[in-house]
Structure 1
Amino acid sequence: MRPCSAASRGRPQSPHPPTDSGSSSMTMQPWFADAKLGIFLHWGIYAVDGVAESWSFYANEVSYGAYMAQLDGFTAAAFDGDAWAGLFARAGARYTVLTAKHHDGVALWDTAQSDLSVVKRTPAGRDLLAEYVGAMRRHGLRTGLYFSHLDWSHPDYATLRHTDPTRPWITDNPYTMPPEGQEDPERWERYLVFHRAQLRELVTGYEPDLLWFDGHWERSERQWRMSELRQELLAMKADVVLNARMLGHGDYATPEQGVPISPPEGPWELCLTINDSWGHRAGDTNHKSAGQIIRTFAETIGAGGNLLLAVGPTEDGTITPEQTARLEGLGGWIERNREAVHGTERGVPFGHHYGPTTLSKDRRTLYLHCLDAPREFVALRGLVTPVKRVSVLGTGAGLAHRTVGGFAGHGVPGVLYIDPPAELDPHITVIAVELDGELELYRGAGHG
């Protein structure tokens, strides 16, 4: 089984930055930072044979013809948008992102710009985006649409070369660039007209809360005219959130598959698969446990990010029992500990507590996420603000605590020692430290 990387999603094998850093923006909506959990749906014709979305033909694992033959088997026969939305709400998600169009160019809506859509070319024969958007909104979930800038099926796409020497992963693959000396700028201009027209259809037709871009790396910012694109999108919908895959013109960063050791300063989102694949691959049974997903979620929100958890429905629109169980396991933990999830921001720097932390918006309650069962005590270092009460989320049980050591005459606080809870959460026990004032930390080097 191959791990999820280039061949199983939007990334060539050669290493390169998965995102740009984004840019500060007046359009960044407050709902995003408090959402904490989103669901990332990779659904398309690639689920018919269970091959890697788009990358399988790009890497010649299957022929382009064999890949596109999956159009004949894509039925969406069991797709129930309300059932999806209900599951995602039980998982604790506040928003979802669906692949409106991946790099293969197959649209999930009835685009007027091409006949390459599930409406015109598959047995599904209907606008799946409309059903998706309607269902998510009925259940109170924000709606996001994934859109690939590049389109390896469009005849005018591979008409310019990107020769940036810092991007060695961009190769002479015929889906990507024309041979040397055969560029055709006029055809590229036609492609940009197509690109913008499809985006206008999505923004004006479905009014997404978020546009999740990908496929930006094969052209430069200037070739894409990303600055102009940002202005055009905001002119159509001023409150739309844009991810960072716009070469410097997005709102938030999108690292993949691992919590950053040094997380971004601004808003960000970790994209994570439940198994090793983004879309449905029947042979991929390497599912993360609910406990592993919950731990990653806690680490992510503690560092100020959202988790965008990937779900790969089967071709008929079924979400597998294995993925359903993990979503519901995560949702159960969030429900038990919702006070430490929603209405919070990134917690204290590492070293004050050996685990993730979140902080209430009023900065008067610090939540300690205990990844492992505490033994003699739970410790919190460098806390200056006096403590009013310590309790366990989920049970409300109060916990004895005391401060030991320190050098008060020089402003060096002691260590807050908290007695371990008698009853522990099956996954992560959260301890609420209520403060007598706003959080103040000691960050000095000690005295001596």
Structure 2
Amino acid sequence: MRKIVSLLLAGILVSSAYSQDLNKQSKNRMEWFGNAKLGIFIHWGIYAVNGIDESWSFFNDYISYDDYMKQLDGFTADNYNADEWAHLIAQSGAKYAVLTSKHHDGVALWDTKCGDLNVVEQTPAGKDLVAPYVKALRKNNLKVGLYYSLLDWSHPDYPNKTRKIKRYDADSLRWSRFVDFNFCQLEELSTRYKPDLFWFDGDWEQSADKWKAQELSEALRGWNKNVILNSRIQGYGDYATPEQGLPVTQPNDTYWELCMTMNDSWGFQHNDDNYKTPNQVIRILIDCINKGGNLLLDIGPKADGTIPEEQKHILKELGRWTGKHAEAIYETQAGIPYEHYYGPTALNKKGDILYLFVPHTPNGPLMIKGLKNKINRMWVVGNGTKLNWEVKMKQYWSAVPGIVYIDVPEKVLDEQVTVIAVLLDGKVDLYREQGQVIESN
């Protein structure tokens, strides 16, 4: 009996050690992502020819499938310069990028051998568009992400609405062929380009079992042990991906990323001029940082491979701001609750520098409430100007901290968002109790 118990205990210890090792590996694998804060999404495909919704335009019957696919003839990529893309992405302050290697329309941007629907064989572009992108990103020390649609509304074996194929049982031979097709393409992408990240989409149409999601995630990490997977693989990903809507409260996920367009469209659309201003984009980025997440900001190149000037302008001004305030952006963690400061905040890794984001010209001093720490120093990030502060309402008999008042001279304000660094005497310590009544005076 003792021998059995000993063996069981030994098994539990081995299992626990294995679990801890997996958690450590996952943390190491995700470290760069957690530190990055900003990435660039790139929606590029044949849909840029007519400037219409990527894939959804035929799925939602705005255009026929056949008319949609006629765009293959106009996709030239004549002016595609991956080095210029990568330079602009790096200039923006982004640390990674994600390119749509294949959207729901099934058109692959590389010379896949798993099928013939790709830009090399079917469009005037006539070349692999993924390889130069990967090479240029690596040259600029950017992490490489590839978007891949699990569903495929063009594949003859996928049970899709658009090609009038009736839905069939997932155990059928046709479904097995389609799953093999996905594995085939993803093995190509994994072994050829060794991406740091896969950004999956389209998983909602089938279950994890049908996609063979667990088997696929294991295969992907077999081909590249450090690859990161987003959440859209039916529960087998590493981080959450809220879309377009900025989370109002901090997500429960350890790692998350808001994917968001610059205007109202993912891909290039001639008539969509409803661009966000650089100030709006910067403030959305700040909100993501404040809640411990990343922003994946989208651009949509034209069919010839050029990036619209409006998008370049936003990226360049974003880059000016991120370059100036780098210390308050990268390798930071979520800030303090809004009850303590009227605005977004962030903390450095050690938790002893509090960054205050100031999106408006202050009408009077800034306020920090409930800060137990002593403040050692305070300065304007990217400017270096030291700031003065004073503490009021601190009663000697009360444990409730006083209110910190900070005057910010107008001459140090950034044209977009100003950042103030507050160096504390230790890890940030906040008063969260209910206050006290007078017991001595």
Q: Percent identity?
A: 49
1:122–1:190 CA distance, 2 compared to 1 (3 A): same
1:281–1:241 CA distance, 2 compared to 1 (3 A): same
1:29–1:182 CA distance, 2 compared to 1 (3 A): closer
What is the distance in 1 between the residues matched to 2:146 and 2:248?
A: 28
* Secondary structure at the counterpart of residue 390 of structure 2: strand
What is the distance in 1 between the residues matched to 2:237 and 2:163?
A: 26
Partner of 1:425: 414
Per mean C-alpha deviation after superposition, the further-off stretch among 334-343 and 69-78 is 334-343
Partner of 2:25: 26
Mapping of residues 270-289 of structure 1, within 5 Å: 270-289=258-277
Q: Which runs of 5+ in 2 are unaligned?
A: 1-21
What is the distance in 2 between the residues matched to 1:32 and 1:197?
A: 27
Identify the structure with bigger relative contact order (alpha carbons < 8 Å, sequence gap 6+). Answer: 1
What is the distance in 2 between the residues matched to 1:436 and 1:112?
A: 60
Partner of 1:253: 240
What is the distance in 1 between the residues matched to 2:180 and 2:115?
A: 12
What is the distance in 2 between the residues matched to 1:182 and 1:440?
A: 57
Partner of 1:207: 194
What is the distance in 2 between the residues matched to 1:415 and 1:246?
A: 47
Partner of 1:342: 330
Return the offset for 1:220. Answer: 1.1
1:183–1:294 CA distance, 2 compared to 1 (3 A): closer
8 Å contact from structure 1 (residues 25, 251) kept in 2? no
8 Å contact from structure 2 (residues 169, 175) kept in 1? no
What is the distance in 1 between the residues matched to 2:274 and 2:58?
A: 23
The reply on whether 1:361 has 2:360 as its aligned counterpart is no
8 Å contact from structure 1 (residues 37, 93) kept in 2? yes
Partner of 2:83: 82
Residues 39-96 of structure 1, C-alpha deviations (whole Å, 9 max, x = no match): 0000000000001000001011111111111001001000000000111111001100
Return the offset for 1:343. Answer: 2.5
Residues 187-230 of structure 1, C-alpha deviations (whole Å, 9 max, x = no match): 11111010111100000110000000000000111211211111
Return the offset for 1:31. Answer: 0.7
1:433–1:186 CA distance, 2 compared to 1 (3 A): same
What is the distance in 2 between the residues matched to 1:339 and 1:184?
A: 53
TM-score (norm 2): 0.90
Residues 229-284 of structure 1, C-alpha deviations (whole Å, 9 max, x = no match): 11111111110010000111110001011220122231110111011000000100
* Secondary structure at the counterpart of residue 191 of structure 1: helix
Letter in 2 for 1:329: E
8 Å contact from structure 2 (residues 146, 198) kept in 1? yes
Match of 1:375 among 363, 385, 396: 363
What is the distance in 2 between the residues matched to 1:287 and 1:243?
A: 27
Q: How many residues align?
A: 412
TM-score (norm 1): 0.89
Q: Which runs of 5+ in 1 are unaligned?
A: 1-22, 160-172
CA RMSD of aligned residues (A): 1.7
The reply on whether 1:397 has 2:385 as its aligned counterpart is yes
What is the distance in 1 between the residues matched to 2:359 and 2:163?
A: 46
1:66–1:408 CA distance, 2 compared to 1 (3 A): farther
Letter in 1 for 2:158: Y
8 Å contact from structure 1 (residues 147, 214) kept in 2? yes
Partner of 1:12: none
* Secondary structure at the counterpart of residue 246 of structure 1: coil
* Secondary structure at the counterpart of residue 270 of structure 1: strand
| Greater helix fraction, Structure 1 or Structure 2 | 2
Return the offset for 1:364. Answer: 1.3
